Amino acid sequence: MERVEDLARRVSRSRLLGTVLAAVALWFAVTTWERPEVDLSAGTMTLALVGSALLYAGALLSLSASLGRLWVSGLASQLLKYVPGTIWQAQPTMAAGGWDAMGRLVAATVVGALLAVSCAGGWVTAAGLVATAIALAAVAKIRGNRAAALTLAAGATAAVLLGASGAVIGFAVGAGGFEWARAVAAGWGAGVLALPVPAGLGVREAVFAVMGPVETGAVVAAAHRTATVAIDVVVGGTALWIHHRAR
């Protein structure tokens, strides 16, 4: 009983910490950005949102592919990352495949996040690390280590797709797609690694404020957050429904 109460207190403190960090980071981003100076048609923005959302969906599918036949459980975990102070991958993957499945998804996600964050160091650094991860995945595959190969390949693919999802919106607003590709990838990675923060809220936007053009930061941040939340709800919700139906 004492252990349960102690765990409940730790979770409560973690949720409080995550909420505070999210609020502070979001405040920093909002106060850094300038008044938006973007003139976009509804059609252009819609196409940018759809393109970004599809690329983000591809990143989630890539990470979930690290689970092999249990990939639906990986997608089902996406909604749970919005709960403050939790390791969002745990519940569906633990239920479907135990500690091994959870470990594989966490490993793939961390690899993807670290590679994405490396974009902050420049394109050469990021490209070199992604290429290294792909090469190591190939070596692992040749040596028969399928789990390691899937983990590295999934993480590298997710990082690239996340950058592309930012580039689509960046080009649409005319503020430099490649610059926003770096900022979005790094922001997503930082948000993932900030475990107590629900869905990286605020952390992602703070990185955008530091790395992206301040005059379009608010527009890009709002557009990318809209695209990712929509995919999390649609894809994650559908997968969660399938996961519970299969149990």
- Sequence-distant (6+) residues with CB within 8 A of 149 are 137, 138, 140, 141
Inform me whether the pLDDT recorded for 121 exceeds 50. yes
- pTM for the whole structure: 0.84
pLDDT, tens digit, for every residue of 43-96?
Answer: 888 899 999 999 999 999 998 888 777 777 777 777 777 766 555 445 555 445
pLDDT, tens digit, for every residue of 4-40?
Answer: 455 446 656 666 777 788 888 878 877 877 666 666 6
User: Burial, 4: exposed, middle or buried (Cβ in 10 Å; 0-12, 13-18, 19+)?
Assistant: exposed
159 vs 72, higher pLDDT: 159
**Domain map (residue ranges) of the chain:** 2-246
What's the pLDDT at 55?
Answer: 95
